[in-house]
C-alpha cells in the first residue's frame, strides 16, 4: 500500500465541508434567527397615510425595557374630538385597559391624548399598576392642560413586572415638544414588540361638503401572547360624529374584523382599539341613516380589516396567510365557531406549514367545533378546487391539485355546511418552527 494521498483527502474533505454547510443552510431552523427577520407576508412598505386634522404624534426613547429604540409614543387630539373604544374581554386585564374602559364613554369638549409604551404591559401588577397608570396619564394631562380622564394609556410587553413609570414621565416634555401631524409612522414603530413591520391603513370618503379621512395604525403579532404581542390599534378620522354613533359603528364592525383574526387562540390581557374623531373635516356631521354615514362606516370597516389582516401577516413565525370562509351554517354564531375551530386547530395549521392538503383535518375541526353540522352535507374547497362533498372526497379531486395549491403563500379554505344562511370569514396563519423558537425563548 502506498502512502496516504493527503492532497486527495484534503480535497475530498473540502467537498464534505461544503456539503455539510449547504445542508445546514437548507435546514429550516439553522437558517432562521428569532430576531427581526421581516415576515415574508409583510406589505412592501408602510403606506402613505393622509394627515388627519387635529391629530399630532411624537415618540421618544424612554428605555422602559428596550435600548436604542423609541419605546413610548404620545398622540394629541384636538378639542372637540369624540372617542370610542373596544377592549379585551380577559378577566385578568391590565390596569390601563380598566382605566380606558372607565373613561371612554364620557362626553367632553376638552380634546384628548393617548400615551403608549412598549416593553412592559403593566399587567398583573396589583396596586402599583394602578399607581403607574395614574402617574403616566396624570403627567400627560398636566403637560397638555387636559382633564386626566381625557388621557388614555396602553402598555405592551412583559407581564407582572412593575412599570418603571418615572422613565416615561421624564420624557413627557420631549414628547410634547415633538408633536407633529406627519409623524404617524414613527408612532406605529414605537409600539412594536415582536412585530416585524409597522402597520398602517387609510381611507377617504366623500361627505356632505368635503372629504372625510380615516387613518389607523396597529401593533400585534397575533391577538395573542400577553407578554410580548398585545394587539393595540389606534384609528383617527376628521369626521364630525357624535360619540354614541361612533361607538356603535366601531362595535358593529369589530366582529368581522379584529374579532375574526387569530394567530394562536391566546387572548391578550391588554388588547385595545381606540377610535378618535376630531371633527376637523369640512364635511357635515355624519348621521347613521344617510349615504355619507353608511359610506364612512364601510370605509372604517375596510381600514379595520386591513389593519387586522396585517396583524395576521405578522403572526409569529407565519409563512402562509390563510382565509377561512364558512358558509351555509345554521347561524352566524355557528359559522364563527366552525371558522375559528379550523383557524385555531394546531393540526390544520401544521399541515398548512407543511404544504399538505390534509382536508381530513378540516373535517375533524368542523366536527369538534360544537356547531351544528351534517357530515353528508359538508363541502370543502381549497380556492376553487372542490375537495370534498356529500360526506366524501369529491370524485374529481386529485391530490396533486391540492398539493400544488398549498404551495401558495395566500390560501383560501372554504367550507359550506349546507344547513342555513350563516356565514363568517376569518383570517389566520400557519404554525411553524419559528413560532416555537420565538415563544420558547422569549424571556431568556
Q: Is 23 in the site for a copy of itself (CB under 8 A)?
A: yes
Scanning 147-155, 179-187, 218-226, 421-429 for contacts with a copy of itself by CB under 8 A, the matching segment is 218-226
As a whole number of angstroms, the distance between CA 49 and CA 279 comes to 18
21 annotated ligand binder: no
Compare residues 286 and 431 and give the one whose CB is closer to a copy of itself. Answer: 431
As a whole number of angstroms, the distance between CA 118 and CA 66 comes to 8
Give strand pairing partners of 207. Answer: 210
CA angle 250, 253, 257 (to 5 degrees): 120
439 annotated ligand binder: yes
Under 8 Å between Cβ of 179 and 58:
yes
CA distances from 84 to 87, 168, 248 (A): 10, 25, 9
Q: Is 102 in the site for a copy of itself (CB under 8 A)?
A: no
11 annotated ligand binder: no
As a whole number of angstroms, the distance between CA 294 and CA 298 comes to 6
Of these, 134, 206, 259, 265, which contacts a copy of itself (CB under 8 A)?
A: 265
As a whole number of angstroms, the distance between CA 225 and CA 266 comes to 6
Cell 393622509 belongs to 50
Q: Is 227 in the site for a copy of itself (CB under 8 A)?
A: yes
Backbone angles phi, psi at 332, to 5 degrees: -65, -35
Length of the chain: 444
CB of residue 275 vs a copy of itself: minimum separation in angstroms?
24
Q: Which helix (H) or strand (E) holds 136?
A: helix 126-144
Of these, 113, 159, 233, 250, which contacts a copy of itself (CB under 8 A)?
A: 159
Q: Is 392 in the site for a copy of itself (CB under 8 A)?
A: yes
Joined together, the cell numbers standing for residue 28 give 429550516
User: Could you say which DSSP state residue 343 is in?
Assistant: H
268 annotated ligand binder: no
Q: Which of residues 314-343 bind a copy of itself (CB under 8 A)?
A: none
193 annotated ligand binder: yes
CB of residue 20 vs a copy of itself: minimum separation in angstroms?
4
* C-alpha 181: how far from chain center: 24
CB of residue 263 vs a copy of itself: minimum separation in angstroms?
9
**Is 278 an annotated catalytic residue?**
no
Of these, 2, 6, 33, 45, which contacts a copy of itself (CB under 8 A)?
A: 6
CA distances from 70 to 63, 112, 164, 200 (A): 8, 22, 15, 18
Number of residues that bind a copy of itself (CB under 8 A): 85
Q: Is 382 in the site for a copy of itself (CB under 8 A)?
A: no
Scanning 6-14, 37-45, 135-143, 296-304 for contacts with a copy of itself by CB under 8 A, the matching segment is 6-14
Q: Is 373 in the site for a copy of itself (CB under 8 A)?
A: yes
Joined together, the cell numbers standing for residue 410 give 395566500
Annotated active-site residue in 230, 267, 319, 327? 230
Q: Which of residues 55-94 bind a copy of itself (CB under 8 A)?
A: 88, 90-93
Picking from 60, 84, 218, 217, the residue whose alpha carbon sits closest to that of residue 140 is: 60
Q: Is 346 in the site for a copy of itself (CB under 8 A)?
A: yes
Of these, 101, 148, 287, 358, which contacts a copy of itself (CB under 8 A)?
A: 358
Of these, 64, 112, 214, 225, which contacts a copy of itself (CB under 8 A)?
A: 225
Annotated binding site: 193, 219, 230, 316, 439, 444
What is the set of active-site residues? Answer: 230
Amino acid at each position: 500500500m502506498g502512502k496516504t494521498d493527503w492532497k486527495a483527502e484534503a480535497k475530498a474533505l473540502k467537498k464534505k465541508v461544503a456539503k455539510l454547510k449547504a445542508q445546514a443552510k437548507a435546514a429550516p431552523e439553522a437558517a432562521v434567527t428569532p430576531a427581526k427577520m421581516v415576515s415574508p407576508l409583510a406589505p412592501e412598505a408602510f403606506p402613505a397615510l393622509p394627515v388627519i386634522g387635529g391629530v399630532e404624534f411624537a415618540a421618544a426613547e424612554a428605555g422602559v425595557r428596550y435600548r436604542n429604540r423609541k419605546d413610548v409614543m404620545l398622540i394629541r387630539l384636538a378639542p372637540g374630538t369624540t372617542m370610542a373604544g373596544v377592549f379585551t374581554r380577559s378577566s385578568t386585564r391590565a390596569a390601563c385597559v380598566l382605566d380606558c374602559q372607565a373613561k371612554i364613554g364620557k362626553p367632553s369638549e376638552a380634546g384628548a391624548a393617548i400615551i403608549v409604551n412598549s416593553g412592559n404591559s403593566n399587567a398583573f401588577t396589583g396596586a402599583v399598576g394602578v399607581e403607574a397608570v395614574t402617574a403616566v396619564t396624570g403627567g400627560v394631562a398636566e403637560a397638555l392642560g387636559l382633564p386626566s380622564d381625557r388621557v388614555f394609556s396602553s402598555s405592551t410587553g412583559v407581564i407582572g413586572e412593575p412599570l418603571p413609570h418615572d422613565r416615561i414621565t421624564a420624557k413627557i416634555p420631549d414628547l410634547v415638544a415633538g408633536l407633529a401631524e406627519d409623524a404617524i409612522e414613527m408612532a406605529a414603530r414605537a409600539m412594536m414588540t415582536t412585530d416585524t413591520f409597522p402597520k398602517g391603513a387609510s381611507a377617504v370618503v366623500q361627505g356632505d361638503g368635503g372629504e372625510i379621512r380615516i387613518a389607523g395604525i396597529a401593533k400585534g403579532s397575533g391577538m395573542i401572547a400577553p407578554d410580548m404581542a398585545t394587539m393595540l390599534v389606534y384609528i383617527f378620522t376628521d369626521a364630525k360624529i357624535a360619540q354614541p354613533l361612533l361607538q356603535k359603528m366601531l362595535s358593529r364592525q369589530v366582529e368581522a374584523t379584529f374579532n375574526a383574526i387569530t394567530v394562536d387562540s391566546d387572548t391578550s390581557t391588554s388588547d385595545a382599539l381606540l377610535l378618535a374623531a376630531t371633527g376637523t373635516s369640512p364635511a357635515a356631521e355624519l348621521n347613521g341613516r344617510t349615504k355619507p354615514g353608511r359610506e364612512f362606516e364601510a370605509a372604517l370597516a375596510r381600514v379595520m380589516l386591513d389593519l387586522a389582516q396585517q396583524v395576521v401577516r405578522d403572526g409569529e413565525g407565519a409563512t402562509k396567510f390563510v382565509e377561512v370562509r364558512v358558509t351555509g351554517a345554521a347561524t352566524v354564531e355557528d359559522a364563527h365557531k366552525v371558522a375559528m375551530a379550523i383557524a385555531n386547530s394546531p393540526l390544520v395549521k401544521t399541515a398548512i406549514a407543511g404544504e399538505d392538503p390534509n382536508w381530513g383535518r378540516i373535517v375533524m375541526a368542523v366536527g369538534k367545533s360544537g356547531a351544528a353540522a351534517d357530515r353528508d352535507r359538508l363541502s370543502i374547497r381549497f380556492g376553487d378546487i372542490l375537495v370534498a362533498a356529500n360526506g366524501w372526497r369529491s370524485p374529481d379531486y386529485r391530490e396533486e391539485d391540492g398539493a400544488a395549491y398549498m404551495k401558495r403563500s395566500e390560501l383560501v379554505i372554504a367550507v359550506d355546511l349546507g344547513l342555513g344562511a350563516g356565514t363568517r370569514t376569518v383570517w389566520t396563519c400557519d404554525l411553524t418552527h419559528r413560532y416555537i423558537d420565538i415563544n420558547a425563548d422569549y424571556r431568556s
